[in-house]
Amino acid sequence: MINFSLEGKIAMVTGASYGIGFAMASALAEAGATIVFNDINQDLVDKGLAAYKEKGITAHGYVCDVTNEEQVYATIAQIEKEVGVVDILFNNAGIIKRIPMIEMSAKDFRQVIDIDLNGPFIMAKAVIPGMIKKGHGKIINICSMMSELGRETVSAYAAAKGGLKMLTRNIASEYGEYNIQCNGIGPGYIATPQTAPLREKQADGSPHPFDSFIIAKTPAARWGTAEDLAGPAVFLASEASNFVNGHILYVDGGILAYIGKQP
């Protein structure tokens, strides 16, 4: 029987106070996992705890900066003491800065790389020893279509997500023999509160130009939803994916497969 159950598993989801991280953590909880999450400050952690409680989920929240190696190791040690050894790590925390490349400072570029690439490296490094001792582990990195594509104003983000794709494959290569699977999820354009302004009708009632652009480029002819990521998240976190390693699962409605309609 295919086993999608996460009963008895401890899942750490970074930056999961809201948005895509919250949706995926909620799906893991529904499959039976105990949820642990972090965010950058106490206000966000409290916001997350309240949101999980409202959904009937008992979650454990911690203030932790994923780019701070000492803080990450201290937090993982605290989680192991208070909750248990992490079985599943979702590297979800990330930022994007939309700035034309020649106008972007090296400082801003480094910040995106630090959070979106160094953060997953540090988090994975902190949990892998515990996974080796337990004899199993799942690491899922939230990649992006920008792991494969370029686009105006996202040079740092694309560089980080392209690097994260290769970090995913390298973790799979280096630690697969310990029954640790490392895969990625590459979301397409997802309808969230953050993207709502891009989907608002114009004053004349016409669609937002970016909304029209995404619909035209997506064979599914719609934006994705956070719920569209739930199944892939549970699959990659469960024993159903035990022989899937180093793979990036793009949940994009077919954008990456599609050249677009002929004008």
**Could you report the per-residue pLDDT of 186-223, keeping only the tens digit for each?**
999 999 887 898 899 999 999 999 999 999 999 999 99
User: How many whole angstroms separate alpha carbon 77 and alpha carbon 94?
Assistant: 23
For residue 151, the tally of other CB atoms under 10 A from its CB is: 11
Looking at the chain, the whole-number percentage of residues with pLDDT higher than 70 is: 100
Looking at this protein, which amino acid is placed at residue 179? N
CA-closest candidate to residue 244, choices 2, 1, 24, 53: 2
pLDDT (0 to 100) of residue 193: 82
Query: Is there a catalytic annotation at residue 157?
Result: yes
Confidence of residue 74 (pLDDT cuts 50, 70, 90): very high
User: How many whole angstroms separate alpha carbon 122 and alpha carbon 11?
Assistant: 17
Query: Residue 56 in 3-state DSSP?
Result: coil
DSSP string of 93-142, one letter each residue: --------GGG--HHHHHHHHIIIIIHHHHHHHHHHHHHHHHT-EEEEEE
Whether pTM > 0.85 for this model: the answer is yes
Res. 116: pLDDT tops 90: yes
Token pair recorded at residue 126: 């902190």
User: How many whole angstroms separate alpha carbon 237 and alpha carbon 78?
Assistant: 22
Q: Where are the beta strands (DSSP E) in the chain?
A: 10-14, 34-39, 59-63, 88-91, 137-142, 180-187, 248-251
Query: Residue 34 in 3-state DSSP?
Result: strand
Query: Which of these is catalytic: 62, 157, 189, 250?
Result: 157
Which CATH number does 10-190+224-257 carry? Answer: 3.40.50.720
Confidence of residue 262 (pLDDT cuts 50, 70, 90): confident
Phi, psi for 231 (deg, rounded to 5): -60, -50
pLDDT (0 to 100) of residue 106: 98
Res. 2: pLDDT tops 90: no
Looking at the chain, the whole-number percentage of residues with pLDDT higher than 90 is: 94
Half-sphere exposure of 94 (CA within 13 A, CB side): 23
pLDDT (0 to 100) of residue 195: 86
CB 20 within 8 A of CB 37: no
